[in-house]
């Protein structure tokens, strides 16, 4: 095998190892093999002639750049690429409804905007420990709520004192 063929084979091996590094997680082993192949290719190219050596030095980064760009374009269509890259986000209309929690009342992360003022002053029952957040049943709905700073045990009557966006603040009702 002549030196020019060896230079071309080492150069192609460097490109193949570099592109394979994109597709196969190898902890950098393939990258090291790619670099070693390119360096050997350049060394042998200079043994052929100085002009051929310079041509290989200039061609190596350009060919690798083109190969990597093409590799990244092709990556999402490969088996490994589909497993590594997330799909597009699900639009709100397409999202499946969240399953209702077990219990007697459906859960809500907060009141709809038109209910903001209606909840203030209403009373309910704490369903979980409020330290300071938890859930409470107000009317026939279950809400995620926060206490005004105190620990409230489950089963304690609570009153809504503030609603700001989806944050519902409650306090324990004194039974006197």
- Return the domain boundaries, the chain: 3-84, 107-172
- Kindly indicate the confidence band of residue 176, based on its pLDDT and cuts at 50, 70 and 90: very low
* Confidence band for 85, pLDDT divided at 50, 70 and 90: confident
Cis peptide before 132 (omega within 30 of 0): yes
> Do residues 163 and 151 touch, judged by C-beta distance below 8 A?
no
pLDDT (tens digit, 9 = 90+) per residue, 100-157?
555 555 555 554 544 556 888 899 999 999 988 999 999 889 999 999 888 999 999 9
Q: 149: which residues sit within 8 A by CB, 6+ positions away?
A: 132
pLDDT tens digits for 14-57?
Answer: 999 988 887 787 888 999 999 999 999 999 999 999 999 999 99
pLDDT at position 101, please?
Answer: 54
| Pairwise CA distance, residues 62 & 153, whole Å | 68
For 107-172, give the CATH class.
mainly beta
In the prediction, which pLDDT does 114 show? 44
The reported pLDDT for the residue numbered 72 is: 79
Token reading at 60: 């190596």
Asked if residues 24 and 78 have their Cβ atoms less than 8 Å apart, the reply is: no
């Amino acid at each position: 095998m002549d030196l020019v063929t060896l230079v071309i084979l080492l150069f192609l091996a460097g490109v193949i190892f570099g592109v394979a590094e994109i597709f196969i997680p190898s902890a950098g082993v393939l990258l090291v093999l790619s670099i070693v192949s390119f360096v050997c290719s350049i060394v042998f190219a200079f043994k052929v002639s100085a002009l051929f050596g310079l041509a290989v030095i200039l061609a190596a980064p350009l060919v690798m750049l083109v190969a990597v760009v093409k590799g990244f374009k092709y990556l999402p269509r490969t088996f490994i690429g589909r497993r590594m890259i997330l799909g597009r986000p699900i639009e709100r209309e397409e999202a499946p409804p969240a399953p209702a929690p077990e219990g007697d009342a459906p859960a809500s992360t907060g009141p709809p905007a038109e209910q903001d003022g209606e909840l203030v002053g209403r009373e309910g029952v704490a369903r979980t420990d409020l330290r300071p957040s938890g859930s409470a049943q107000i009317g026939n709905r279950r809400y995620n709520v926060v206490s005004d700073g105190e620990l409230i045990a489950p089963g304690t009557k609570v009153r809504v004192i503030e609603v700001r966006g989806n944050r519902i603040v409650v306090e324990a009702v004194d039974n006197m």
